[in-house]
Amino acid sequence: MTDLTNLTVAQIRDGHRAGDFSAVEVAEAFSANVAAAKALNAFIVETPEHALAAAKQADADRSAGSLKPLSGVPIGMKDLFATNGVQTTAASHMLEGFVPRYESTVSQKLWDAGAGMLGKLNLDQFAMGSSNETSYFGNVISPWKRNDGGNAALAPGGSSGGSSSAIAARLCPAATGTDTGGSIRQPAAFVGISGIKPTYGRCSRWGIVAFASSLDQAGPMARDVRDCAIMLENMAGFDPKDATSLNMAVPNWEAALSSDLKGKKVGIPKEYRLEGIDPEIDAMWDAGIAMLKDAGAEVVEISLPHTKYALPTYYIIAPAEASSNLARYDGVRYGLRDLPEKAGLQDMYAATRADGFGPEVKRRIMIGTYVLSAGFYDAYYTQAQKVRTLIARDFEQAFGVCDVILAPTAPSAAFGLGEKTADPLSMYLNDVFAVPASLAGLPAMSVPAALNREGLPLGLQIIGKAFDEQGVLNAGLAIEQRAGFTARAEKWW
Amino acid sequence: MTEASYRIKGETGEWEVVIGLEVHAQVTSNAKLFSGAATAFGAEPNTQVSLVDAAMPGMLPVPNRECIRQAVRTGMAIDAHINTWSRFDRKNYFYADLPQGYQISQLYHPLVGEGSLTIEADEKAGLPEAKRIGIERIHVEQDAGKLMHDQHPTMSYVDLNRSGVALMEIVSRPDMRSPAEAGAYVRKLRSILRYVGSCDGNMEEGSMRADVNVSVRKPGDEFGTRTETKNVNSVRFVMAVIEGEAKRQVELIESGGTVVQETRLYDPDRNETRSMRSKEDAHDYRYFPDPDLLPLELDDAFLAECRDSLPELPDAKRARYLAAGISAYNADVLTAEVESALWFDTLLETGAKPAAAANWVSSELFGALNRLGKSFEDCPVTPAQAGELLGLVADGTISGTIAKQVFEKMLESGDAAGVIVERDGLKQTSDTGAIEAEIAKILTANADKVEQYRGGKEALFGFFVGQTMKAMQGKANPQVVNELLKKALG
């Protein structure tokens, strides 16, 4: 019998429907992989019983002829989504032991669609990081190794590093991620999988621990484009509990998948050609351009003139919102409470927050507090909002002459754990290609395109018009079919 | 400056007081501003708290349409500019009664812009003429929870029932110049809110409270430095704060000190304010637009519904009463509270004559309600019953004097006026024979006074009227009595 954990979401769904295997078999196979992969530290909590219960239901539904879109598919849930009765930590000490009595809208939709939960996936603390090294529960390790014979542990990317590592290591066929400034796309690129951040507002933010509200957006990560489409269909949808939710019907993205790009124009932003960048990144990009041409698309050069301001803008707006969003973690109602002897309220706040937040979270709270302070607000926050508008306008103008934009996902392949932790700025630079689409609220995805000379995956990014996830997925599919990326990490864990 | 201007007499001359008020009015609505939780007053602690109000991780605010509607209607009631585009901002600070760590408010783009209300002249209260008080803005914001410090020796208890309840902050211009004006402003504002139905105006329960900004200056000078006394919860206290604070500032300045911009607290037991915090250690609230909420955009249909749903407001009602011949005093009394005004309007619908009905309500009915400790909400007589009573007076069936008796009996028995008049034989009589018989007796018994009257002491006429009415047990038609007496006394 084939190893069920090598199957994609579509293959599991179809095979289960056809009676090739039971959902219980699938759940057990993946749960066994999860249990055997402690070395990757991808999961904070394992929930094989949840996956099994959903699988039993799926098998019963099959007998009853009432299968659901994700019946029989077990998935991983980023530990930023509140899950009823299951610890939800945002990978922080602050929320260690916090068990919500509510279910996030996105996770509820997935369970309603028949999916089961293998566990809660590790991430950068409060989704702040690009390497998963800020987790209170220890860094996730990428299943990938360089081909240099060394044994350096590599970063799985971040913040959705548990999700990327688990999918690449076949611990789950798909997982949820969230993307505030590249947190789905960059980790997907680092481990050779696909991931899409939909248009801001497609997926409800209700029940997702907030990082930066105007940027946070949930999306799926999976092995291929089709699986991303299937997952996204079952995550997206209007939610009256989220005032920023898009009140639009969810398209049938999977059914409309097409890699025929005849008549489509692909924009290549000249500002994304960074000086001093790894030539392999540019080479991969050029190869991607050739693939899309091959799929029938016309390639046009475009200009996104405010690109160079995107990263600083992001690092003002995101921390500003975070500094306020994280104020609720005060030790009064839930989570960590550190009450020193004879402490007053202020002392309790200080002790709790000093102990409960990691250094990166504190850094961003400090930055955010600073840029919102009287006397600095206009120079930083107001200015950043203006630039954000200009960045969005860049895209609007570009989409006057093209349908999708092709760019690298990240400026490098996965780096080694610890390589960038001492220099936050170089860490932030990892998201230089990802952040502009986040600021503009546009759909963007990463698909694996090639291996570099070290044998590590590189990803290509497709950015689309607002609400045009279909265009993004289709271009992604065209690359996927031509790149023929089948490489996978050799099992060492 | 009129003679009646309010002035503080200091050692260096007269001082003028400048007052601005920020009134926080709890919006009447079944649910909180951004969550579905209920808002009933006096519920068990922490029983009206949703996940949003407790700021659980991942919870999001969604604006409550009804709260926005009520604030817009309030804005329309003070003739204010309604901003069809407004936005919510976060005001960030840490406190145990503030679960989110920020209050959602509107700093930069409030829902309601410039408006005004008019306080009426009231000589007795020290208001020689009517005055228009500017209102700068109304914005909508969340209330905080409540801390209880007296429940445990070392800990404070938190009740989040009020957390997230919708408040309107109604910010006046610094247009008031005396405690009386400020008192009249708060009363008028409260009246308007209650007419509109956007706030119950209950100051004891905290659903309306004022931050009182006071400064002093020599008349004609620039504004002085102001202090802000927080959370004052009655009209009387608002006036006391102004009086005390103005006096304190004058004494401070005259003794060589300077007023510092600060927040103060009022202690009603000692009738004094004390400093809470100065501007130097004021919070930096780091206001910024709430990224969880989209800007609020109001369409024409929504605005039209708000406008169409407004009732007749106190000023319009007062003007209508004046035009109907009701005295200014009665018009003020009747329109001050929405309940009495609505009761009175229903009475007018029965066909009661406005001036007479107004007199009766403001004297007889108000008096009875006071005596019985009741209000118009549990009024023991209905407007229809009162209408019947007034009708009997108007058509001459009973006299005004008898009407008082009938009303007392109505209150005691709950019977209709007509029934009482019939049963107790209280109908006014114009039976000239009976009246003439009584007059003859009275003139005989008071021959000396008859002599005096005829000798030119005409003031005695009233005496004869009184005696006759008394003899007729009040039931004689006064006009007939007058005519017959004049004839008899010739």
Range of the domain at B479: 432-488
Using CB atoms, which residue from B58, B94, B294 is nearest to A82?
Answer: B58
Q: How far apart are CA A383 and CA A369, in angstroms?
A: 16
Measured between beta carbons, the chain A residues lying within 8 angstroms of B96 are: 330, 332, 345
Q: Are the beta carbons of B284 and A104 separated by less than 8 Å?
A: no
- Assigned domain for B2 exists: no
**Class of residue B479 by CB neighbours under 10 A (exposed 0-12, middle 13-18, buried 19+):** exposed
String of DSSP letters for B15-61: EEEEEEEEEEEE---SB-SSSS-B--TTPPTTSS--TTTTT-TT---
Give the CB-side neighbour count of residue A400, counting CA atoms within 13 A: 8
Q: How far apart are CA A43 and CA A30, in angstroms?
A: 13
For residue B481, which amino acid is it?
A: V
| Residues in chain A whose Cβ is within 8 Å of chain B | 81-82, 88, 90, 95, 98, 100, 102, 104, 205-210, 212-214, 240-244, 320-321, 323-324, 326-328, 330, 332-334, 345-346, 349, 369, 372-374, 377, 381
**Do B141 and B124 touch, CB atoms closer than 8 A?**
no
- Assigned domain for B3 exists: no
Q: Are the beta carbons of B101 and A98 separated by less than 8 Å?
A: no
- Assigned domain for B76 exists: yes
Q: Are the beta carbons of A88 and B57 separated by less than 8 Å?
A: yes
- Assigned domain for B61 exists: yes
Asked if B284 is an interface residue toward chain A (Cβ–Cβ < 8 A), one would say yes
Element (H, E) at A30: helix A23-35
- Assigned domain for B363 exists: yes
Task: Judge if B298 and B406 occupy the same domain.
Answer: no
- Assigned domain for B447 exists: yes
Using CB atoms, which residue from B60, B96, B284 is nearest to A241?
Answer: B60
Domains recognised in chain A with CATH numbers? 1-493 (3.90.1300.10)
Task: Judge if B466 and B412 occupy the same domain.
Answer: no
- Assigned domain for B209 exists: yes
Q: How far apart are CA B461 and CA A51, in angstroms?
A: 105
Q: What are phi and psi of B300, to 5 degrees?
A: -60, -40
Number of domains composing chain B: 3
Structural tokens at position B259: 């007023």
Task: Judge if B158 and B12 occupy the same domain.
Answer: yes
Residues with Cβ within 8 Å of A400's Cβ and at least 6 positions away in sequence, in order, are none
Number of neighbours of residue B412 by Cβ within 10 angstroms: 10
Give the gap in angstroms from C-alpha B225 to the nearest C-alpha of chain A.
21
Q: Are the beta carbons of A327 and B94 separated by less than 8 Å?
A: yes
Mutant choice from B34, B91, B94, B107 vs A, greatest count of A C-beta within 10 A = B94
Task: Judge if B179 and B42 occupy the same domain.
Answer: yes
Q: What are phi and psi of A478, to 5 degrees?
A: -60, -40
Residues with Cβ within 8 Å of B264's Cβ and at least 6 positions away in sequence, in order, are B227, B228, B229, B230, B245, B273, B274, B275, B276
Whether the upstream peptide bond of residue A159 has omega within 30° of 0, thus cis, is yes
Task: Judge if B114 and B29 occupy the same domain.
Answer: yes
Q: Are the beta carbons of B101 and A334 separated by less than 8 Å?
A: no
Whether the upstream peptide bond of residue A63 has omega within 30° of 0, thus cis, is no
Number of neighbours of residue B488 by Cβ within 10 angstroms: 16
Task: Judge if B395 and B481 occupy the same domain.
Answer: no
Q: Are the beta carbons of B100 and A372 separated by less than 8 Å?
A: no
Q: Are the beta carbons of B288 and A212 separated by less than 8 Å?
A: no
Q: What are phi and psi of A6, to 5 degrees?
A: -90, -5
Q: How far apart are CA A336 and CA A352, in angstroms?
A: 6
What average pLDDT values come out for chain B (490 residues) when binned by 10 residues? 74 96 95 89 90 97 96 98 98 95 97 97 88 98 91 87 96 97 97 97 93 96 96 96 96 95 92 81 90 97 98 96 96 94 96 96 95 93 95 88 92 92 84 87 90 89 89 83 87
Measured between beta carbons, the chain A residues lying within 8 angstroms of B99 are: 328, 332-333
Nearest to A490 by CA among A142, A242, A215: A142
Q: What is the pLDDT tens value at each position of chain A, 493 positions in all?
A: 579 999 999 999 999 999 999 999 999 999 999 999 999 999 999 999 999 999 999 999 999 999 999 999 999 999 999 999 999 999 999 999 999 999 999 999 999 999 999 999 999 999 999 999 999 999 999 999 999 988 999 999 999 999 999 999 999 999 999 999 999 999 999 999 999 999 999 999 999 999 999 999 999 999 999 999 999 999 999 999 999 999 999 999 999 999 999 999 999 999 999 888 899 999 999 999 999 999 999 999 999 999 999 999 999 999 999 999 999 999 999 999 998 888 888 999 999 999 999 999 999 999 999 999 999 999 999 999 999 999 999 999 999 999 999 999 999 999 999 999 888 888 888 899 999 999 999 999 999 999 999 999 999 999 999 999 999 999 999 999 999 999 999 999 9
Q: Which of A31, A131, A164, A183 is catalytic?
A: A183
E-strand stretches of B195-270: 208-217, 227-232, 262-267
Q: What are phi and psi of A89, to 5 degrees?
A: -120, -15
Percentages (nearest 5) of helix, strand, coil residues in chain A: 40, 15, 45
**Whole-angstrom Cα Rg for chain A:** 21
Nearest to A300 by CA among A368, A390, A400: A400
Among the candidates B273, B302, B331, a domain finishes at: B302
Q: How far apart are CA B248 and CA B127, in angstroms?
A: 24
Give the pLDDT confidence score for residue B279 in this predicted structure.
Answer: 64
Q: What is the ipTM of this complex?
A: 0.96
Give the pLDDT confidence score for residue B428 in this predicted structure.
Answer: 80
Give the CB-side neighbour count of residue B136, counting CA atoms within 13 A: 12
Give the pLDDT confidence score for residue A37 in this predicted structure.
Answer: 98
- Assigned domain for B324 exists: yes
Among the candidates B423, B443, B462, a domain finishes at: B423
Q: How far apart are CA A234 and CA A115, in angstroms?
A: 10
Task: Judge if B232 and B356 occupy the same domain.
Answer: no
For residue A48, which amino acid is it?
A: P
Asked if B256 is an interface residue toward chain A (Cβ–Cβ < 8 A), one would say no
Q: Are the beta carbons of A102 and B54 separated by less than 8 Å?
A: no
Residue of B nearest to A246 (CA): B294
Measured between beta carbons, the chain B residues lying within 8 angstroms of A377 are: 286, 288
For residue B329, the SS3 value is: helix
Give the gap in angstroms from C-alpha A448 to the nearest C-alpha of chain B.
31
Residues with Cβ within 8 Å of A465's Cβ and at least 6 positions away in sequence, in order, are A399, A403, A404, A442, A443, A471
Give the pLDDT confidence score for residue B3 in this predicted structure.
Answer: 46
Task: Judge if B93 and B194 occupy the same domain.
Answer: yes
The reported pTM is 0.91
Task: Judge if B286 and B138 occupy the same domain.
Answer: yes
**Do A211 and A318 touch, CB atoms closer than 8 A?**
yes
Q: Are the beta carbons of B292 and A243 separated by less than 8 Å?
A: yes
For residue A189, the SS3 value is: helix
Task: Judge if B385 and B442 occupy the same domain.
Answer: no
Give the pLDDT confidence score for residue B152 in this predicted structure.
Answer: 87
Tokens 């209408």, residue? Answer: B387
Among the candidates B423, B453, B468, a domain finishes at: B423
**Do A75 and A117 touch, CB atoms closer than 8 A?**
yes
Q: Which of A78, A109, A145, A264 is catalytic?
A: A78
Q: Are the beta carbons of B288 and A104 separated by less than 8 Å?
A: no
**Do A44 and A34 touch, CB atoms closer than 8 A?**
no
**Do B192 and B317 touch, CB atoms closer than 8 A?**
no
Chain B window 56-95: which residues touch A at a Cβ cutoff of 8 Å? 56-63, 90, 92, 94-95
Using CB atoms, which residue from A328, A346, A381 is nearest to B101?
Answer: A328
Task: Judge if B321 and B287 occupy the same domain.
Answer: no
Q: Are the beta carbons of A244 and B294 separated by less than 8 Å?
A: yes
CB pairs under 8 A between A and B: 99
Give the pLDDT confidence score for residue B280 in this predicted structure.
Answer: 63
Number of neighbours of residue A293 by Cβ within 10 angstroms: 14
Q: Which of A71, A104, A130, A159 is catalytic?
A: A159
**Do A196 and A184 touch, CB atoms closer than 8 A?**
yes
Catalytic (active site) residue A159: yes
Task: Judge if B273 and B398 occupy the same domain.
Answer: no
Chain B window 151-210: which residues touch A at a Cβ cutoff of 8 Å? 156, 158
C-alpha distances out from residue B267 to A22, A232, A367, B252, Å: 73, 59, 40, 20
For residue A217, the SS3 value is: strand
**Do B59 and A206 touch, CB atoms closer than 8 A?**
yes
Q: How far apart are CA B344 and CA B312, in angstroms?
A: 13
